[in-house]
Structure 1
Amino acid sequence: MRAQAYLTLLILLLASCSEKENKPEDPLKAYASSYEIIQGEIWDQTCISCHVSGSSFARQSDLILTADVSYAQLINRPPKNTAALEDGLMLVGDKGLESLYESFLWEKINAPDQEHFYADHPGYGSQMPLGGDPLTNGQIEFIRQWISAGAPQKGDVIDREVLKDTSRFERVAFQPLPLPEQGYQFHITPFEVRPNSERELFKYQPLNNTEPLYISGFEITMKSGSHHFILYNFPETFAPSLLPNENLIRDVYDASGNYVFTTLYHMQFHQFVAGTQVPKVRYNYPEGVALKVPANSGFDMNSHYANRTDETMEGEVYANIYTTSASEVTHIAQILNLNNDNFYLPAGKVTTIQKTYTFDKDRHIFQLWSHAHEHNTSFKVFISGGERHGELVYFSNDWEHPPILQLDPPLGLKAGEGLMLEATYNNWEDRDLAFGLRSTDEMMILFGAYYE
């Protein structure tokens, strides 16, 4: 019996060793750098069937992605596409974050931004891979981080765990958001936007919360054609008797284009909470961080549509805020709203405006989002002061769809340091421009969020 027991134990040990020997190793271990991973796991698997020397696709795009030449083919090369070339894009630049939004490669593979790609850049051709499934969300994120890191050929600069997200973007038509299990939903019901006009409106919805709320994230979806959607609240000291009427549509300007001053009155007290300029967004605050909303609050919903067509457009918006319990919160989020409304743009000139904001307390910034109008060609944000003075931390060259940047880990700034905003405008018109609410006026705003 004892011999049989030893034999059984030996068989189990051998089987265990065999299982360990047969267990597949992580295929990414074979790669020495982040770019080798992009080559082996993305270009080689998905792209070189077309982008190979001698193929018609390679000749048409002037881009070969085989391992012997791909890096040199991509870095700091202008695209062959005429529209992208006229827009000043490179295939991939090496300037970090600034290069991301000036990258033709990024435009071509960024499937979640598909609506913007086809609506605003019809001359850019088709998104890639042509005729196939988009890259996985993990692959897109890996490439995004690689470009943002300066697109190095050597060095392991991106966390390989990113590639484990194998989900893919699926385009869906506008549809209502499901009600949040823990949170609130807001809805601006369908409204008309007349041909060749724009419409901006507000709708106030009380929360009826008897206790403070803690917002941990938000989700917004809008019908096509929207310029932006923003949730505002009012200061805790704002008199309840002065709040807007509940669920009443309040236009910013009337049918003749004149401002509605009763609407403007409430706008001067607004406090930014959340917003977007892309048709659909889901944003989560960092773990343990939440925005505190006082008891008995409400949100003023702001929707802005610009209709450049000859037909009536219909607007509609759904927005969810997701809440968490106070016991889960370690940091209270604060809203960043840096609004420069004092600038002048001469007619027929390109003008760059700079303004620096210095903070009197330490800040940990985890969200940045620029807002400007159609004359804006670039919006940059630099660190001001300290050891990282002059470092670019945000860039957008797309006024219609500026990125909502999530900084993880947050950007830490000490008291006495701050942010310098630099916005460039091309005023091609025969009139001077200044700050204004219409999309034909201009703005220079940096929204965001932080904790102290």
Structure 2
Amino acid sequence: MKHYLRLFIILFIFSGCAEVENTQESTWGTIQEKILNTSCINCHVSGSTMTKQSGLDLSKKNSYSQLVGVSPKNIAAKKDGLVIVSTEGGMKGLSKSYLWEKINAYDREHFLSDHPEYGQMMPPGQNFLTDGQLQFVRAWIEAGAPEEGVVATEELLLDSNKYSPPEFTPLKPPKKGIQLHLKPFEVMPNFEREFFQYTNLDVSEDIYANRIQIEMRPGSHHFILYSFIKNINPSDLPEFDVPRELRYENGVYNIQTLRSMQYHEFFNGTQWPRMDYKLPPGVAFRLDSNFGLDQNSHYVNRTDSIMIGEVYTNIHTVDKSEVLHEAKVINWSNQNIFLPPKKITTLNKSFYTNKSIYVGQLFSHAHEKMKEFSVIIKGGTRDGELVYWTDDWQHPPIMSYDPPIKLNSGEGLQIITTYDNPLNEAVTFGFRSTDEMMILFGWYYE
């Protein structure tokens, strides 16, 4: 009898231990306890002004049902098709989540400049969530925002770093490489200024760049660096250090500038006010020593006062002996754009490769009527797989792929872009932000 009693006690102890070990807080439960309860319910509590304004009382146990799949009270966000937290999952779900727009401090400049009608960022002031909290919430949303189950590791919450808003700061020259500088220039009120300035790199042999930094004053639509095609006649190259306007102040295009653009070869660029992009070890862009770089700056000033633009670029270089793969530029575009008035139009175009390539980066470029920009794989075992998506024309994400996307001969990528033209006139391809574009940039190696 004593033997059975001992056995019963042992089984009871171990079964109790097993039950404790298998009981783990759900990811949503952790968000409620360690993020909402510590950073949000001071304001979002029953009866508070913030709760009345937003409709969110996050101090209650049913806060999940108030957040997930629910339309926001904010009219602008609702019109933009956002829900407070989307269940679509992946990068699309993240982009459709109003909560992520409100808390993602690292996208603060985009939020404040492009969506002022969305209200203030949360938590208010400069009480940003930690990097760990942001990544934990992001992982949950990308997993479809489930109420039950564990979809993110709590180790993420150990990262206590926080975002601190940067100011425009001139870049320090690279230890090894080249710095370019477009000195302060004026952009007239209610005008889009876009110009080019050809800059001598002063190199005697080809150089290899594995890191690009760009820093711009606020107000930039884009900044692009171009080289020139190999078979250009030297007499067609622009003069060094002379600004070439794309449009005059009366809006008329500069024919000479348009003529020089037909010889361009895209090198790098961004729509973000600051970029610091590093290629993987052993991968680098090659810059032809026969050419300089044509700096293309486009600022949009929709105010009644003069805007000042300025751009710094650092090109960090490595020795040729360190380069295993030469990164080649993706610059695939569809210029056959016709958007009928008062209609939503979806266009697509496919691009195929005749050899095996490895795609390491993709990012889109379109203008203000773009509502959705998708890229899918065409052909092979991954046919139809979504590899890029954005609904943000002003600051599209720059997606890096590790490992790279392998495309075999005969396979490719298809761009699918949706536009909404509310005007009474058709819109076509063009260089102004009120025209449209459909371009996929990136790099690959063979």
TM-score (norm 1): 0.86
**Aligned residue in 2 for 1:438:** 432
Contact persistence 1:365–1:411 (CA under 8 A): yes
Are residue 174 (structure 1) and residue 160 (structure 2) matched? no
| Cα deviation digits, residues 27-50 of structure 1 (max 9, x gap) | xx9966654554454334322333
- Deviation digits for residues 248-286 of structure 1 (CA, Å, limit 9, x no counterpart): 111112233222222112211222222111212222222
Q: Distance in 2 between matches of 1:205 and 1:194?
A: 24
User: What's 1:45 paired with?
Assistant: 38
Q: 1:51, 1:57 within 8 Å by CA — same for their partners in 2?
A: yes
1:73 matches 2:36? no
Deviations 1:365-404 (CA, angstroms, capped at 9, x unpaired): 2222111112212212222223333232222222122222
Pairwise CA distance, 1:109: 0.9
Partner of 2:50: 57
1:200 equivalent in structure 2: 194
Q: For residues 281-327 of structure 1, what are the alpha-carbon distances to aligned partners after superposition, in whole Å with 9 as ceiling and x for unaligned?
A: 22222233221223344211100111111222221111212222334
Match of 1:414 in 2: 408
Which whole-Å CA distance do the structure 1 matches of 2:260 and 2:23 have between them? 60
Superposed CA deviations along residues 125-145 of structure 1, whole A, max 9, x for unmatched, are 110112342122343344334
CA distance in 1, matches of 2:171, 2:219: 18
Q: 1:209: how far off?
A: 2.0
Alpha-carbon spacing, 1:362–1:428, altered in 2? closer, same or farther (3 Å): same
Would the alpha carbon gap of residues 294 and 110 (structure 1) be closer, same or farther in structure 2, given more than 3 Å must change?
Answer: same
The 5 Å alignment of 1:78-117 reads 78-95=71-88, 96-117=90-111
Q: Counterpart of 1:371?
A: 365
Q: 1:201 to 1:98 in 2, by over 3 A?
A: same
RMSD in angstroms over aligned alpha carbons?
2.5
Flag the 1:428–1:135 CA change in 2: closer, same or farther, 3 A. same
5+ residue gaps, structure 2, are 1-21
**Residues 411 and 314 of structure 1: CA distance in aligned 2, closer, same or farther (over 3 Å):** same
Q: Structure 1: which 5+ residue stretches go unaligned?
A: 1-28
The residue that corresponds to 1:25 in the other structure is none
Aligned length, in residue pairs = 424
Q: Are the counterparts in 2 of residues 208 and 296 from structure 1 also a CA contact under 8 Å?
A: no
Shift of 1:146: 3.9
SS of the residue aligned with 1:319?
strand
Query: Which deviates more, 394-403 or 165-174?
Result: 165-174
Q: Which segment drifts farther, 149-158 or 232-241?
A: 149-158
Q: In structure 2, how many angstroms separate the alpha carbons of the residues matched to 1:83 and 1:297?
A: 47
Work out which of the residue numbers 208, 227, 243 in structure 1 matches 2:237: 243
Cα-to-partner distance string for 1:130-178 (whole Å, 9 max, x where unaligned): 2342122343344334433433445655576655553322223322111
Supply the distance in 2 between the matched residues of 1:193 and 1:168 (Cα, whole angstroms): 34
Partner residue, 1:12 = none
Preserved contact between residue 227 and residue 294 of structure 2 (Cα < 8 Å)? yes
Contact 1:97 1:149 (C-alpha < 8 Å) held by counterparts: no
Seen in structure 2, the aligned counterparts of structure 1 residues 255 and 40 have a Cα distance that, compared at 3 Å, is same
Alignment partner, residue 277 of structure 1? 271
- Which stretch shifts more, 83-92 or 204-213? 204-213
2:252 maps to 258
| 1:140 alignment counterpart | 134
How far apart are 1:411 and its partner, in Å? 2.8
Q: 1:158 to 1:212 in 2, by over 3 A?
A: farther
Q: Residue in 1 aligned with 2:122?
A: 128
Q: C-alpha distance in 2, partners of 1:381/1:395? A: 7
| TM score, norm. by length of structure 2 | 0.87
Distance in 2 separating the partners of 1:284 and 1:62:
43
Change (3 A) 1:238 1:120: same
What is the identity, as a one-letter code, of the residue corresponding to 1:313? M
Q: Corresponding residue for 1:9?
A: none
Aligned to 1:8: none
For the residues of structure 2 that align with 1:318 and 1:333, how far apart are their CA atoms? 23
CA distance, structure 2, for counterparts of residue 292 and residue 40 of structure 1? 51
The counterpart of 1:227, out of the listed 221, 226, 250, is 221
Q: Aligned pair in 2 of structure 1 residues 321, 194: CA closer, same or farther (>3 Å)?
A: same
Q: Is the 2:337–2:436 Cα contact (8 Å) retained in structure 1? A: no
Distance, in Å, in 1 between the alignment partners of 2:136 and 2:407 is 27
1:333 equivalent among 320, 324, 327: 327
Q: Which amino acid in structure 2 is aligned with residue 324 of structure 1?
A: V
Distance 1:163 1:384, change over 3 A: farther
Task: Report percent identity of matched pairs.
Answer: 49
CA drift of 1:54 comes to 5.3
Structure 1 stretch displaced more, 82-91 or 323-332:
323-332
Q: Which amino acid aligns with 2:370?
A: N
| C-alpha spacing 1:88/1:323, structure 2 compared with 1 (3 Å) | same
1:58 aligned partner, one-letter code: T
Evaluate the alpha carbon distance shift between residue 184 and residue 448 of structure 1 in structure 2; reply closer, same or farther with a 3 A threshold. Answer: same
Distance 1:192 1:356 in 2: 40
